[in-house]
Structures are given as structure tokens and as C-alpha cells.
Amino acid sequence: MPHDLEAPWRDIAAGIDGIVGAQPVMTIEPALAQYISHYRTAAGALPLTAFRDLLDDKRQFIACRPFKCAELQDERLAGRRVLLQRWQWGSPVRDVDTCQLRLYEITFVDGNRTGP
């Protein structure tokens, strides 16, 4: 199996650490939380099973693959969602939904949650 099919988890984790520091990262897919937590040195990652799992912090960092990031396109998050970084691996003809990871910051006004 060619090496470019595997996500560069060490590079991704280092990039996440460089962007969010010691803040935890939430993931929509539990497996992503395991990969990211294994390689991060500053903090771990936690699976997000529903928007209600978001903490009452003023901001959250969420990592997801494009086909799962669609869940973040909820209109109630419009204006509160910022794409911070995108990692892509594999050849350009590969399916972007499975060979890309996105890191978002979601802010909540006055620490109040917004979402389903």
C-alpha cells in the first residue's frame, strides 16, 4: 500500500499543537480522537458525539474530515465557525472527503452554547 494513503498524523498533531497549544480538540469521529491524541504532545483529543457535548467554554476546536464537517455547517454556527487549517495527503485525484482533515474554531458568545 503506498505511503501517501496514510494520513501524516505526526505532522497533523504537531500542526494542531502549534495552532491551539494546550487546548483540547474535539473530533466528530472517535477514531480521529485516538490518532490525534496519540501524537499530540500539548493535549489530547476528545470525541464529540453531539453538539450538546460541547463544553460551556467560549471557544472549541474541532477536527473533522470533510464529509463529517458538514455537520458544522448548521446555520446556527454561521459566523462563529472559522477554518483554521486544512491538511491533505495522497494524490490530487484521491477522494478529498477521506484524505483531508480540517481544524475549525467555533466561538460561543458569552460562553453560551449554540447548536442542536
pLDDT mean values, one per 10 residues, the chain (116 residues): 72 96 91 93 82 63 90 78 91 74 82 44
> What is the predicted pLDDT for the residue at 58?
72
**Prediction pTM value:** 0.81
CA 19 to CA 17: how far, in whole Å? 5
End-to-end CA distance of the chain: 40
> What is the predicted pLDDT for the residue at 101?
94
Instruction: Collect all residues with Cβ–Cβ distance below 8 Å to 97 and sequence separation of at least 6.
Output: 65, 66, 67
